[in-house]
Chains A and B, each alone.
Chain A
Amino acid sequence: MLLCKNISKTFYPGTANERRALSNVSLNMRRGEFVVIIGGNGSGKSTLLNVVAGAVSSDEGRVYIDKQDVTFSPEHRRAAVIGRVFQDPMLGTAASMTIEENLALANRRGKRRGLGSGVTRTERALFKEMLKPLELGLEDRLTARVGLLSGGQRQALTLLMASLRDPKVLLLDEHTAALDPKTAAKVLEISLQLVREHRLTTLMVTHNMGDALRFGDRLIMMQEGRIVFEASGAEKQSLTVPELVEKFVAVGSEVLC
């Protein structure tokens, strides 16, 4: 479903700040596969997600989504098939707009935005149904401005927006890192529910090794712009946090959890 072929990216080439963020990274994801990426700061995991989303253009390599070459397609066009949740809860929603307007914006992803009503009646009913299972009480506050919501509520809303219109790829970039532990657990639970329900092909970056082991079909460890370790299936299931920490130390990365 998602194929990254030999992706390389260097920031600020030819200057004192030159930094090789990705070197020759390849990744192939099956339809419905859930891949978790871990790695230290500056290991290139966020850059990889940005290259897939089109927010950063790669120097070399190709990106294919559902066999279509999207390497040179601009971010807003690619967004039609990509759902994305950022680390910062403020980034995923428009604060000055209402809950239903935000959801409606996401519901028009990849469709023409014309002069019809911004939020239709059928959409309103659909959003109400979708918000109920979150158990955050948002279904009764459709016309409240998003700026009034807490970080956790905003992140849950962003998740819902990202999963609308069944994206071909869902990108979760440390999306629980900025939340308190209890809220993080709730948001993570909602993520897994949505991923399972829509069978989304998901790429999740996390700093939490426990989460990395518990969730996903495949685990990828990145270091200095390369994939240094991969585990899936039975091998991933038998891994423990101490073993993973050992791998981290072996590749010379700082331990984070």
Chain B
Amino acid sequence: MTDIITGAVGLGLVWSIVTIGVWITYRILDFPDLTVEGTIVTGAATTAIMITHGVSPLLCLLISFGAGALCGLCTAFLHTRLKIPALLAGILTNIGLYSINIRIMAGTSNISLLGTRSLIDMLMTFIGRDRNVTTILVAGFGVIAVLSLCTWFLRTSYGCSIRATGSNPDMARSQGININMSKTVGLMLSNAFVGLGGSLLCQYQGYSDVQMGIGCIVIGLASLIIGEVLFGKSSTLHSLISVSLGAILYRIIIAFVIQAGMQATDLKLFTAITVALALFLPTAILQIKALRGRVTRRHDAAL
């Protein structure tokens, strides 16, 4: 039982980093970015090939971060220079990345880290705790680093111009902000975090697979919405903490659902329905309110 919880928290913390990436595009830039499904694999693939070639797992994190940023740059180029709509630009990069990710993994569709030592393996021997606890420590440290970087950056002058671009592009332009540039920087940062998340995910699960990105955007959105609804979003830092907790909670829910006997292959359907319901929630609340209003009015009229 404790194993299930610690396992879920560890994996949830890894996904927190991915979710923060999704949050930057979805909430800050108002840009539905589907690149992430490819980016997370790019992060994992880069790390897998490098670790099997003896590169330090710590350096792998950094390189996957950079590789993710490049994926974001590609989508930004398609959108800002070639004027391709946001959704399509993300899908195009995502599809292209499929081939690139296989090339990164030297032509294979998956690489196992068996027989090598990831960051988590190394720290396990160092601190002498089990895999789950070590993952919590490593990923927890990563989440704190990403949270701090993000909060600081979005409060800087340049960060503010990125937020303005997402909130009101007309206003941003009339205040002298080059919105193509701020969109590009936002997309690169977002995908860099997703790449970093992919790297950690690969080191946690011990392999990289070209299919592992499928549904990643929906999982990110599910975590984001669960976090915001349950924990609030009054400020940048508050939102970031909420979505991180959302990612952890999502993993705990999934762990329990599987424990209760759901087939792993049904998970994606479960996630899709969860997200659909969560997105419907604000509308549902409005409709219920409107309905109540109508009933009360009718009641008053009858009196």
A119 to B161, CA, bound (A): 12
CB distance from A189 to the nearest CB of B (A): 23
Q: Which residue of A lies closest to B174 (CB)?
A: A84
State whether A117 touches B156 (Cβ < 8 A): yes
B168 contacts A76, C-beta separation under 8 Å = no
Q: Which of A55-96 contact B (CB under 8 A)?
A: 55, 74-77, 79-80, 82, 84, 86, 90-96
Q: What CA separation (Å) do A101 and B176 show in the bound complex?
A: 15
By the criterion CB–CB under 8 Å, are A92 and B173 in contact? no
Question: Is the C-beta of B5 less than 8 angstroms from some C-beta in chain A?
Answer: no
| B155 interface residue (CB < 8 Å to A) | yes
Q: Identify which of A76, A84, A118 contacts B178 (C-beta below 8 A).
A: A76
For A101, the closest partner residue in chain B by CB is B160
Q: How far is the CA of A80 from the CA of B175 in the complex (A)?
A: 8
| A156 touches B (CB below 8 Å) | no
Contact A94 B174 (CB under 8 A): no
Contact of B164 among A53, A55, A105 (CB under 8 A): A105
A205 to chain B, nearest CB (A): 16
CA distance A233 to B178 in the complex (A): 40
The answer to whether B171 has its CB under 8 Å from any CB of chain A is: yes
Collect the chain A residues with CB atoms within 8 Å of residue B111's CB: none
A108→B161 CA distance, assembly (Å): 10
Shortest C-beta distance, A172 to chain B (Å), equals 13
Interface flag for A169 (CB, 8 Å): no
Known: A97-B160, A105-B160, A117-B156. A76 touches B171 (CB 8 A): no
CB pair B156–A118 under 8 Å, yes or no, is: yes
Residues on B with C-beta less than 8 A from A222 are none
Interface contact B170-A86, CB-CB below 8 Å: yes
Minimum CB distance partner of B161 in chain A: A113
Whether B163 lies near A94 (C-beta < 8 A) is yes
A105 touches B161 (CB 8 A): yes
Find chain B residues with CB under 8 A from A79 CB.
173-177
Residue among A92, A93, A96, A105 making CB contact with B177, cutoff 8 Å: A105
- Number of A-B pairs whose CB atoms are under 8 Å? 89
Contact between B175 and A105, CB atoms less than 8 A apart: yes
* B174:A118 contact, CB within 8 angstroms: no
Contact with A along B206-243 (1 / 0, CB 8 A): 00000000000000000000000000000000000000
Contact between B155 and A118 (Cβ–Cβ < 8 Å)?
Answer: yes
Docked Cα-Cα span, A193 to B167, in Å, equals: 29
Interface residues on A, range: 35 or more
The interface bits of chain B over 173-202 (1 if a CB of A lies within 8 angstroms of the residue's CB, else 0) are 111111100000000000000000000000
A118–B161 alpha-carbon span in the complex (Å)? 9
A91 engages B175 (CB within 8 Å):
no
Q: A91 contacts B178, CB within 8 Å? A: no
From residue B150, how far is it (CB to closest CB) to chain A in Å? Answer: 13
Query: What are the residues of chain B within 8 A of A82 when measuring CB–CB?
Result: 174
- Alpha-carbon separation in the docked complex, A75 to B74 (Å): 25
**Contact partner of B157 among A53, A93, A115, CB < 8 A?**
A115
Q: A92-B171, A94-B167, A95-B167 are in contact. Are A118 and B177 (CB under 8 A)?
A: no
Task: Say whether, besides A91-B168, A94-B163, A114 and B156 are in contact (CB < 8 Å).
Answer: yes
Nearest Cβ on chain B to A167's Cβ, whole angstroms: 10
- CA–CA, A64 and B29, complex, Å: 34
Contact residues in B for A55 (Cβ distance below 8 Å): 173-174
* A171 nearest CB neighbor, chain B only: B174
Complex CA–CA separation, A156 to B173 (angstroms): 19
Interface centre among B155, B156, B176, B179, by most chain A C-beta atoms within 10 angstroms, is B176
Chain A residues with CB under 8 Å of B161's CB are 105, 108, 113
Taking the nearest CB of chain B, how far is it from the CB of A154, in angstroms? 11
A91-B171, A93-B168, A117-B155 known; A109 vs B163 contact (CB < 8 Å): no
Could you list 10 further interchain pairs (A-B, Cβ under 8 angstroms) beyond the known A94-B168, A108-B175?
A: A74-B178, A82-B174, A86-B170, A94-B171, A95-B167, A97-B160, A115-B156, A116-B156, A116-B157, A117-B156
The 8 closest A-B CB pairs, nearest first, are A79-B176, A94-B167, A118-B160, A109-B176, A113-B157, A94-B168, A96-B167, A94-B164
Task: Please list 8 pairs of residues, one from A and one from B, whose beta carbons are closer than 8 Å in the complex, sorted by A's number.
Answer: A53-B174, A76-B172, A77-B178, A97-B160, A104-B160, A105-B160, A108-B175, A115-B158
